[in-house]
């Protein structure tokens, strides 16, 4: 048995040490907001945070994250109230939704590192693939969350925001919009 800290809760899982974290999260912990896309660290659909760092969980052996703080899309907020989730909803970013949990996790990591990113910062950091081509809305939503978008308020909210780290409750909008049967 391995002990993991997922969204602020300790969970015990029975998995081979080399099992990718993605599959442990989805199949044992029951958090299906994190998606499988490529399985080879290329698309970003499986992005989570480990000790605050963006990681692609499809290539992360579960044994490597034992004792570390894992945050999934479900752990960003209990009610989709994280500023990035709110910006995503405001800009109606998702199309099919499949990639969007990973996109949001990547955006949160970017804004933690650079609370006022430029377009280039966003383009450089957001390497996740969206087969629906929502990149323009992703960029606009990141600017909105950063307070640098047209019509935004005066400042970034990101100096106030970290992982919720508490309850793993509802999935984000992106997870909710994944087509039925595609959990
Ligand atoms: S599923 Fe992990 S990067 Fe594509
Ligand atoms: S919204 Fe469909 S893959 Fe990104």
Instruction: Give the model confidence (pLDDT) of 109-138 as tens digits.
Output: 999 999 999 999 999 999 999 999 999 999
Q: pTM above 0.75?
A: yes
Q: For the sheet containing 69-71, what is the strand order?
A: 9-13, 2-6, 69-71, 47-50, 53-56
Ligand 2 centre to CA of 94 (Å) is: 6
Q: What is the mean pLDDT of residues 133-159?
A: 78
Q: What is the mean pLDDT of residues 24-50?
A: 98
Ligand 1 centre to CA of 27 (Å) is: 16
Pairing of the two strands 69-71 and 47-50: antiparallel
Ligand 2 centre to CA of 2 (Å) is: 33
- Closest atom of ligand 1 relative to the 58 alpha carbon: 2
Domains of the chain, each with CATH number or no CATH:
2-76 (3.10.20.30), 83-179 (1.10.150.120)
Helix ranges (DSSP H) in 57-148: 83-90, 100-113, 119-125, 135-146
Cα–chain center distance at 144: 17
- What pLDDT shows up at residue 6? 98
Cα–chain center distance at 96: 16
pLDDT in tens, 49-78: 999 999 999 999 999 999 999 999 999 999
* Cβ pair 15, 38 in contact under 8 A: no
């Amino acid at each position: 048995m391995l002990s993991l800290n997922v969204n602020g809760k300790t969970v015990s899982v029975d998995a081979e040490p080399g099992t990718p974290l993605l599959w442990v999260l989805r199949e044992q912990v029951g958090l299906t907001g994190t998606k499988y896309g490529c399985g080879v660290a290329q698309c970003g659909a499986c992005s989570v945070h480990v000790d605050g760092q963006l990681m692609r969980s499809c290539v992360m052996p579960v044994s490597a994250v034992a004792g570390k703080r894992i945050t999934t899309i479900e752990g960003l907020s209990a009610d989709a109230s994280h500023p990035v989730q709110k910006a995503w909803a405001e800009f109606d970013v998702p199309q099919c939704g499949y990639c969007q949990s990973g996109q949001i996790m990547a955006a949160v990591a970017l804004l933690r590192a650079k609370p006022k990113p430029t377009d280039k910062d966003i383009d450089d950091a957001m390497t996740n693939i969206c087969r629906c081509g929502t990149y323009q809305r992703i960029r606009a939503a990141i600017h909105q969350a950063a307070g640098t978008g047209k019509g935004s308020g005066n400042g970034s909210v990101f100096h106030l925001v970290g992982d919720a780290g508490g309850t793993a409750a509802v999935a984000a909008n992106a997870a909710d919009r994944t087509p039925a049967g595609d959990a």
